[in-house]
Every structure is written in C-alpha cells, then in structure tokens.
Amino acid sequence: MVPVYTGSAQHSPFEATGPGLDGTAILLRHGTPVATIKYPRQARFYALQTFDGIPYWKIAQLHSNDVLATTVLQNCIRYTDRTTSCQFCAIGQSLAENRTIAHKTPEQLGEVARMAVLLDGVKHVVLTTGTPNVTDRGAAVLCDSARGIKAQIDIPIQAQCEPPRDHGWFQKLRDAGIDSLGMHLEAVTPEVRARIMPGKATVSMPRYFEAFEAAVKIFGRGQVSTYILAGLGDTADAILQTSEKLLEIGVYPFVVPFVPVSGTPLANAPAPTPDFLRSILPALGRMISAANLRSADIKAGCGKCGACSALASYED
C-alpha cells in the first residue's frame, strides 16, 4: 500500500512511469531507474452493481491483492466534532465525495463478498466501522454484517471496533462468524493519545488491555490484533514496550507507518522516517517470532494482509 496522493508523497524521491503494454512500469529514484514494478490490476467485481443499483466498489474495495475491505458504517460519533475526532481520520471524506455509502447492509456485503471471491480470488475480509455509540461501539452491526457474508460465502473475516463496554460482545462476534478481531490503539502514550485522538483516548490503555485479554479468551492467541501508527509522536521505545505487553497476552501488534492523509488535520504532518521505522520493525519482528504469534497464522485481517507495513518481512 504505497501512498500516492498525499502531501508527503509529492516530496518522495521515487516516481513510477505509467504501465507499458505488458503492465510493467519503471520505478525511478531521483530520475534513475531502480526497479521494474507491476501495478495491481483493477478488481473484476468493481464492474458489477447490486440489485438495488449500488456499484460494488462503493460497498467494498480490494485491498492488496486478495483482501476485501469495507467500512460498514461510514459515520462516527467522534468524527463530526474536531475536538473529539481522531486527527488522522478521513472516514467522512469518501462519503462526502459520494465514493461510498453510509451503511452497507448485510445483504449487500454478502453479495459483494461472494462475487469478490468468485471473480477475484479474495481470501479474507476486513470489516471496520465508525463508532456508532459508546455502548456496543459497533459490535452489533459487525455481527449482522458477518452473518450476511457467511450466509453467502465461507470466507475468514476480521472485524475491527473499539472495545465494547460489555465483553459479552466478543462471544457474540465469534458466534456471528468473525474469525479474528482488531481493536486499534493507534497511539500508545497517554499524552500522544490525548492530542491525536481526544475522543478515543477517553477509552484508557488499561481498558483496552482488559478488552484484549477478554477477547483473546474467545478468539485465541494471535487472533486478536491492534494497529499502532508509528509516526504520531510515540517513541520507538514506547511502541516496543507496549508491543511486548501485547505479545505477552497473545495480541498481535501491527505497527504501521503513519500516512498523513490529505484533508485531515494532520495532512501536513511529516511521515515517519525510514530510520525511525528501522528502529522499531526489525526488533519487533524478532519479538513476534519469539512469541510465536506470526502474521501468517492470523486467520483474517490487516495483520495477515500486511500491505500497510513491512513488519511481516522481519518475522522469521
């Protein structure tokens, strides 16, 4: 997943030519060819539309080359107010630009997932959601969505939400057919959390860890994961220390370089440097391998996909 349309990408030393007739292109660094690359193909299921006339690409997208990903609810209680919204988040932008729909129904998701498997060989599904309330925090709509998909096609699903207030939701999510669960810390230091995600930071780190432990009991070691964005202000030490605690309780810490997205309050924030990532990912890869919680063993989701980070390449 290479950022192309962001401010920081404009200053990248890398540039790619358009694809030739054979689909390959040349990657240049400061104008000098360094590699031959191939662009991902357009998903075949993008050409279809639902019985009610919604193009499939507005319901779910192909991520990497074999992941179907969607944001079930494209609204979030935290997003409309910039005093509570996560400063890196762009959940409302694609909706405002009519590139998606606000609520993907279970029937629509099932229909699209089935065709994405048949036409494009999709192997797993990522269901994320904006947070609709402070009680179930999206768990109910994720259960409905998973049932809608599994009624159409047997495919591993990862769901992503904030920790529901009632841990009983973890069993309900599992029973609905969800195979792995992501609850995303994003940042790990209290000061950084409060500054970057003032609303979500009201769910404290201890609260996240209680939820992780409860979820691992239901989903199993290595099937619960969290996204940590490197480059929001946490030090490498803070990220590695938190990752160590996560690994101890069976949670996969998916550390991903922060991408400043155009149109968000952090649009002009710097992207993390390669040196900063090198101070985290090799050490983290060794910790993950030692804990025996490798990305390849996750049944579904971002950690398994790995396209947003080079982390998996450091696991052995």
For binding to ligand SF4 (CB under 6 A), which residues are involved? 1, 63-64, 67, 69, 126, 302, 305, 307-308
Q: Could you give the residue ranges of the DSSP H alpha helices within the chain?
A: 7-10, 93-96, 106-120, 139-150, 168-175, 190-196, 205-219, 236-248, 274-278, 281-291, 302-305
C-alpha distances in angstroms, 296 versus 58, 154, 173, 273, 300? 29, 19, 22, 26, 9
CB of 22 to ligand SF4, least distance (A): 25
Tell me whether residue 186 or residue 214 sits nearer to ligand SF4 (CB atom).
186
C-alpha distances in angstroms, 44 versus 63, 72, 110, 114, 150? 13, 21, 17, 12, 21
As a whole number of angstroms, the distance between CA 73 and CA 78 comes to 13
With tokens 């490197």, the residue in question is 230
CB of 86 to ligand SF4, least distance (A): 15
Tell me whether residue 214 or residue 264 sits nearer to ligand SF4 (CB atom).
264
Tell me whether residue 109 or residue 302 sits nearer to ligand SF4 (CB atom).
302
Tell me whether residue 67 or residue 73 sits nearer to ligand SF4 (CB atom).
67
Residue 25 β-bridge partners: 37
The answer to whether the CB of 109 falls within 8 A of the CB of 70 is yes
Tell me whether residue 85 or residue 160 sits nearer to ligand SF4 (CB atom).
160
CB of 160 to ligand SF4, least distance (A): 9
CB of 62 to ligand SF4, least distance (A): 9
End-to-end CA distance of the chain: 22
Phi and psi torsions of 296, nearest 5°: -65, -20
- Residue 87: which of 270, 276, 263 has the closest Cα? 263
Tell me whether residue 9 or residue 134 sits nearer to ligand SF4 (CB atom).
9
CB of 38 to ligand SF4, least distance (A): 17
C-alpha distances in angstroms, 293 versus 156, 227, 261, 307? 18, 15, 30, 18
Tell me whether residue 214 or residue 281 sits nearer to ligand SF4 (CB atom).
281
Rg (CA), the chain: 19
CB of 69 to ligand SF4, least distance (A): 5
CB of 67 to ligand SF4, least distance (A): 4
Work out the angle between the directed axes of helices 139-150 and 106-120 (0-180°, nearest 10): 50
Tell me whether residue 246 or residue 305 sits nearer to ligand SF4 (CB atom).
305
Tell me whether residue 142 or residue 305 sits nearer to ligand SF4 (CB atom).
305
CB of 94 to ligand SF4, least distance (A): 14
As a whole number of angstroms, the distance between CA 212 and CA 146 comes to 20
The answer to whether the CB of 36 falls within 8 A of the CB of 48 is no
- Residue 236: which of 275, 186, 198, 200 has the closest Cα? 275
CB of 239 to ligand SF4, least distance (A): 17
